[in-house]
Amino acid sequence: MKNTAASSNQRSTQSNQPDAGSPASVADPGGRIKTLVILGASGDLTGRLLLPGVARLIASGRAPGLNLVGAGSDDWSPQQWQDRLKDSFSEAMEPDGASTDTGIKELHQLQEGSSYHQLDVTAKGALGQFLKDIPGPVALYFALPPAVSQKACTALTPEDLPEGTRLVMEKPFGSSVESARALNATLATLVPEDHIHRVDHFLGKSTVLNILGLRFANRLLEHSWDGEHIEKVEIFFDEALTLENRARYYDHAGAGRDMIQSHLLQVMGIMAMEPPATLGEQDVRSSIATVLRASSIGRSGHDLAEYTRRARYTSGTIGKRKVPNYIDEDGVDPANDTETLAEVEVYINNWRWAGVPFILRSGKALGNARKEAVVTFKPVPHLPVGFKGTDSPTRLHIGFGPDTLVLDLDVNGPGDVFTLDRVKLEAELGSDPLLPYGEVLEGILRADPLLSVRGDTAEECWRIVEPTFAAWASGAVPMENYAAGSSGPQAWTTSND
């Protein structure tokens, strides 16, 4: 049996008199970015994710008059850069529900006027000299490894940056608490905190607002959104993709650093936060920070092997595609001991969530792709004698991309009205036609840091996971195996859910 609930896209309106933390007061049309400069423009991230996001944003008519400049270490000709833009922009160039005729024309103009420059961003004075000829205000996007970004920022001075410059840092932000703190200190000497955008493309505007709207606009849910009523919260990002030519990055990061340390902890913060006064960046980001400060993996005094798990895929089949052992993939060094599937249990040590595990899981080469948060409610205190069938837990599924809502309930029938039967109430949540990177970039261009990770929370995320990574590196938590195309190690509860 399957029930479908109608969805509503209505949003509550803001007051005409926004306070200092409201969205209306954050965006500053007068300070709109004139030029987007991408450092690391010849890299994989830029071509695969960043440029398609830029293209969809421009083609939708929501970023008029933007200039695009690329810089990288590779010696690319103007034609090579134009070829990259053509490939990355091709989908957005086709008229559809998101792209408009005016927007497509803007995108053509941006592509024709865009240029690429070979540049060593870590050389003292090189980046500053380069920026002197760039029309400002500028968004300086560091699509670079963390260590290179740190060196590039260290080589900059405040005088090197055009007025109104916004610094955009790609994740991972640092590689430890210490390095994240050092990078934060460096950035603080260059621009104010509200001019720093630490990008987490997983935090698209529609995803964030859907979670906040679901929780805080529905008394029925928020009333039971605590440890008294909820048994556990699981956040999944399981994907069928393998390395996809990204071994140079992934084999040093692994599933833990790639997804859990950044994306999933941030989603957890939104799922667990207290109700903010407004949707302004100060209120929302402070509420997330409060959750992360109270969080740790496992329970105090217990072995991390009990609360963390790691595994690596072996050969298998995903659809019709044969996948080799991870350690046999091109560019992989077995000595790195990299996990491709990771799972941790986080506990939030406050009144609302005491004792409730937040299970964060992410992995590659899995047969069942899952991108969702699952809230499992506790059983009813007493089921009247006489009911038959399985009394299954009530579960709420919040899907990410596409954004969906599914509520699993037990109801009577059909047939024998004394028998409980499982039904699903489903709804599609509001979504933005922009790609995730387009949503994040729009906030940057509009000078709105709501979707950016604040400096203190970036450090907190590393604090939470560092003991786990140390335990893995020491071998205290064994590396398990799972066949590519499977659901993961069968002993894991999440692999059988």
Known binding residues for substrate? 201, 205, 239, 258, 364
131, containing H or E segment:
helix 126-131
- Measured between alpha carbons, how far is 466 from 463 in angstroms, rounded to an integer? 6
Task: DSSP for 170-223, please give it.
Answer: ESS--SSHHHHHHHHHHHHTTS-GGGEEEE-TTS-HHHHHHHHHHHHS-HHHHH
Give the residue numbers of the binding site: 73, 120-121, 171, 201, 205, 239, 258, 364
In sequence order, which residues have a C-beta less than 8 Å from that of residue 222 and are 6 or more positions away?
Answer: 215, 216, 275
Q: Among the options 263, 302, 382, 397, which is catalytic?
A: 263
Q: Are strands 230-238 and 316-318 parallel, antiparallel or unpaired?
A: unpaired
Which phi and psi angles does 113 have, rounded to 5°? -90, 0
Q: State the residue for tokens 């850069």.
A: 81
Give the residue numbers of the binding site for NADP(+): 73, 120-121, 171
Cβ atoms 298, 347 nearer than 8 A:
yes
* SS3 of the chain: helix, strand, coil, percent, to 5: 35, 25, 40
Question: What are the structure tokens assigned to 16, written together?
Answer: 């005409």
DSSP 328: G
Strands (DSSP E) contained in 222-330 are 230-238, 295-297, 308-314, 316-318, 321-323
Query: SS3 of 332, please?
Result: coil
Question: What are the structure tokens assigned to 345, written together?
Answer: 């249990």
In sequence order, which residues have a C-beta less than 8 Å from that of residue 279 and are 6 or more positions away?
Answer: 14, 22, 23, 209, 212, 450
Q: Judge whether 195 counts as a catalytic residue.
A: no
Catalytic residues: 263
